[in-house]
Amino acid sequence: MTNSFPTYFEAQQWASFCLKTAQLPTDSARFLLLGLTRLNQTQLLIHYRDPMPSDLYQAYRAAVKRVVAGEPAQYVLGRAPFYGLDLTVNPAVLIPRVETEELVDWILTDYQDAQTITVLDVGTGSGAIALALKHEQRHWQVSASDVSAAALTVARTNAAHLGLAVDFYESDLLKAVPATPFDIIVSNPPYIAHAEESVMDASVLNYEPRGALFAAHDGLALYEQLAATVASHLTPSGRLYLEFGYHQGSALQQLFRKAMPHAEVTVRQDMAGHDRMLRVINHE
């Protein structure tokens, strides 16, 4: 590859080599190229043999070097995909994970024929879950909360960019949200135990917000708070949906069955076969 006017294909090959050498996923090479060029996959293929403009190539090289140095590609671009949406992200919010899309799928499947539904996304971060649900079900009344004012700024930016009407509240879990009960409360809260830091990816530890990652009591602290308070915020047949760490399913089942003895508690596996989601159906 020449350094002056490489083709799009040559530039991507160079980036893949750099990432592979750094023992990082090589799919970031295409992700960065698509993001910087604003091309889709088909358009990129059409331009593969064309020389890259020099300014674009320099920007691409700089982006690749940041990723090789450990920065997540989504933060480098300032954007991340989630459930077909293009979301703004920065280090104030977690990068949305594809596993969380399965939680959104579960809710949409359970309520596919429902019309007037009220939803609260607790710990919304970038707004990913709330905005995905609102995008798929425009007639639902969706609210979202987060304890972080910086995260809410990102979420509001995403809602405005996507033209989706979601109400946002700065709240520590349920403490400052509207008192009106919701049909659906969903949350993907911090659930990583501090003891797990030693086995975590360095890019996550160095760049993603620690307050959105870790929780006390072996990662269960926020679930314990929700279990003690959520019932009064649900309608009589309302449902709570949670994402959790793959080894926490049994503990959470016991926690919610004790806190809400009349509720129906169901654990669901993700596509990899790990227990990762919990549904609690309120029965009053």
* pLDDT digit string (tens) for the chain, length 284 residues: 445 689 999 999 999 999 999 999 999 999 999 999 999 999 999 999 999 999 999 999 999 999 999 999 999 999 999 999 999 999 999 999 999 999 999 999 999 988 889 999 999 999 999 999 999 999 999 999 999 999 999 999 999 999 999 999 999 999 999 999 999 999 999 887 777 777 778 877 787 788 777 777 888 899 999 999 999 999 999 999 999 998 999 999 999 999 999 999 999 999 999 999 999 999 86
The tens digit of pLDDT for each residue in 191-250 reads 877 777 777 788 777 877 887 777 778 888 999 999 999 999 999 999 999 999 989 999
By the 10 Å C-beta count (0-12 exposed, 13-18 middle, 19+ buried), 261 is classed as: exposed
Q: Residue 149 has which token pair?
A: 């004012």
First to last CA, the chain: 68
Q: Binding site residues, as ranges?
A: 123-127, 146, 188-191
Buried b (16+ CB within 10 A) or exposed e, 226-235: bbeebbebbb
- Paired with 117 in beta bridges are none
| Per-residue pLDDT, 1 | 45
| Residue in 29, 40, 38, 35 with CA at minimum distance from that of residue 6 | 29
Query: Residue positions in the annotated binding site for substrate?
Result: 188-191
Whether the model clears a pTM of 0.85, i.e. scores above it, the answer is yes
Q: How far apart are CA 160 and CA 49, in angstroms?
A: 37
Burial readout 111-141 (b: 16 or more C-beta within 10 A, e: otherwise): beeeeebbbbbbbbbbbbbbbbbbbebeebb
What the block records as the tokens of 161 is: 């960019």
Q: State residue 85 phi and psi, 5-degree precision.
A: -100, 150
Rounded Cα distance between 178 and 233, Å, is 9
Binding residues for S-adenosyl-L-methionine: 123-127, 146, 188
